[in-house]
Chain A
Amino acid sequence: MSAESNTAEKGRAGLRRQIKLPMSKAIEIAFKSIKIRFWRSVITAAGIFLGIAFFTSVRMSGEFSMIQRKVIEAKRDAIAAGTLKPTPNDIRQVNSLATDQADAKAAEMRLKWLSIMALIVCTVGIANSMLMSVTERYKEIGTMKCLGALDGLVVKLFFIEASFLGFFSSVIGFVLGWLVISLIRLATDGVEVFGLAFWIASVKLLGLSVLVGTVLTFIATILPAMRAAQMPPAAALRVEI
């Protein structure tokens, strides 16, 4: 019993100070906590991954429209240069390109708006699920502080949980949104839009989606968690939801 007390740092006047647990221990506790409340974590993750899936699908269908435009423009140029023998479908596409020209600007504007809307919906979804999951654990945070947890440890635990949940939910959300839109495009437009431009756009969007999802999750978790951790335990214990 006394062995671990000896490991505690001695502060001013020989007072014992609580030890800071190493990051590895914090990771262990955080993962145990995710595992223990697996279904709750899945529901929380669903808020993140649906938001990101929506965001991804809106962005991805925008990318597809742009790629398709480029493909048709390339065809038009090739036909003009005489290097491509157009099929009836190609001719129809190139003709529609001309009539679309006026709509293109409007379409682009619409897409921007949709993207922003998607981002807002995604933010609200993530903030809501993470705020809920921290708020319902105020009492737990107060209890942990009574048992000797340092503020920093509490924040660290939520930091690890949020990074993990945010990252993986975003990746899954991206894959879902990306897959659905890609399959729809494959069915309607065929393989011609799945060139290099498609893969570049996909990778860029993966990066953006994961970044957005992880950062939003992180902010929505860490701010309330810090607030709860810095409260006197009596106040955190009194919070009713």
Chain B
Amino acid sequence: MRANEYVVRTKDLVKEYTMGDQTLKALNGVNLDVFKGEYISIMGPSGSGKSTLFNAIGGLDKPSSGSVFINDVDMAQLDAQELAYLRCHTIGYIFQTFNLIPVMTALENVTLPTVFAGMSTDDGIERGIELLNLVGLGERLHHKPSELSGGQQQRVAIARSLANNPSIILADEPTGNLDLNTGKEIIELLKRLNREQGVTIISATHDLKMLDVSDRIVWIRDGRIAKIEDRKDIDIRIGEMEGQGELH
């Protein structure tokens, strides 16, 4: 495995939304290459197109034009079963609103992707317990989402995203619904998984706390990449930005 292998590439990605006679270009020619094992933050103000990019990369919505390559495979070429396999095995999704299944316990939520992958029930439960321990929720296996705090729910969602050993974790504002300290803990957890498991993390956010842990920061504005910065270039500026809180 070469260090510079790309895990995600987008080429001239455009997504248009038509409402009435208005067309809005939520993405307007996005070219982005993500290396294997990278921690990338997609930063931008609200409405800049982060979620639209998240949906396109994750195969959750079709772009209007342009391509997304996951491990060098053009996503547009995949049929339904191949796309489902990709969502099940290659990508783990984390959402701002956690999106746990409310009627299921933490363990059942984490086990669900293993069921879709065809894993046996016993193996799935074993895997679920292992993952919930990994995210520090070994004591909360049988709690329903409503019985967990926001931070704990997001930990369950992170455990669930790891269920089938994905090579990419896609996160859309994972700290958006969390308070400062809980958000920090979630970011640290993501960073730890990135470091220890080598999983590539692509996180859309406008949380400046993410800057600290990111290898690269992609600044997006009005559906275009404004600039891409390496962390080492940005380190010096973090000091100045602290105290300004979050971008809006």
**A145-B87, A147-B88, A147-B160 known; A232+B61 contact, CB < 8 A:** yes
Find chain B residues with CB under 8 A from A7 CB: 118
Q: Closest CB of chain A to B67's CB: distance in Å?
A: 16
Q: Number of residues in A with C-beta < 8 Å to the partner?
A: 38
Nearest-CB residue, chain B, relative to A233 = B60
Q: Closest CB of chain B to A112's CB: distance in Å?
A: 43
- Report B62-106 residues with CB < 8 Å from chain A CB: 62, 73, 78-82, 84-85, 87-89, 93, 95, 99-104
**A18-B88, A148-B87, A148-B89 known; A232+B103 contact, CB < 8 A:** no
Establish whether residues A5 and B93, one from each chain, have CB atoms under 8 Å apart when the complex forms: no
Establish whether residues A18 and B81, one from each chain, have CB atoms under 8 Å apart when the complex forms: yes
- Report A213-241 residues with CB < 8 Å from chain B CB: 232-235, 237
Of the listed stretches A8-16, A43-51, A60-68, A85-93, name the one at the interface; the rest are far from the partner chain. Answer: A8-16
**A146-B87, A147-B116, A233-B60 known; A17+B164 contact, CB < 8 A:** no
**A146-B87, A148-B87 known; A19+B118 contact, CB < 8 A:** yes
Establish whether residues A147 and B112, one from each chain, have CB atoms under 8 Å apart when the complex forms: yes
Q: Closest CB of chain A to B92's CB: distance in Å?
A: 9
Mask, A133-148, CB within 8 Å of B = 1, is 0000001101111111
B contact residues vs A (CB 8 Å cutoff): 55, 58, 60-62, 73, 78-82, 84-85, 87-89, 93, 95, 99-104, 112-119, 123, 160, 163-165
Find chain A residues with CB under 8 A from B117 CB: 4-5, 19, 148
Q: Closest CB of chain B to A80's CB: distance in Å?
A: 67
Cα of A148 to Cα of B87 in the assembled complex, Å:
5
State the 5 A-B residue pairs at the shortest beta-carbon distance, nearest first: A148-B88, A18-B84, A234-B61, A148-B116, A17-B81
Most interface-central of A15, A146, A149, A237 (chain B CB within 10 A): A146
Establish whether residues A36 and B85, one from each chain, have CB atoms under 8 Å apart when the complex forms: no
Nearest-CB residue, chain A, relative to B88 = A148
Establish whether residues A148 and B81, one from each chain, have CB atoms under 8 Å apart when the complex forms: no
Contact of A232 among B62, B99, B115, B116 (CB under 8 A): B62
Q: Identify 29 residue pairs between A and B in the complex whose beta-carbon atoms are under 8 Å apart, listed by A's number.
A: A4-B114, A4-B117, A7-B118, A8-B89, A11-B82, A15-B73, A16-B85, A17-B79, A17-B81, A18-B82, A18-B116, A19-B117, A29-B115, A33-B103, A144-B116, A146-B60, A146-B87, A146-B99, A147-B93, A147-B116, A148-B87, A148-B89, A153-B116, A232-B62, A233-B61, A233-B87, A235-B61, A237-B95, A237-B99
Q: Is A105 an interface residue (CB 8 A)?
A: no
Interface of A is mostly: helix
Find chain A residues with CB under 8 A from B78 CB: 15
Cα of A7 to Cα of B114 in the assembled complex, Å:
13
Contact of A234 among B60, B84, B163 (CB under 8 A): B60
Q: Closest CB of chain A to B106's CB: distance in Å?
A: 14
Find chain A residues with CB under 8 A from B81 CB: 9, 11, 17-18, 20, 150
Establish whether residues A36 and B103, one from each chain, have CB atoms under 8 Å apart when the complex forms: yes
Mask, A16-52, CB within 8 Å of B = 1, is 1111110001000100010011001000000000000
Establish whether residues A148 and B164, one from each chain, have CB atoms under 8 Å apart when the complex forms: yes
Cα of A19 to Cα of B118 in the assembled complex, Å:
7
Find chain A residues with CB under 8 A from B99 CB: 139, 142-143, 146, 237
Q: Closest CB of chain B to A160's CB: distance in Å?
A: 15
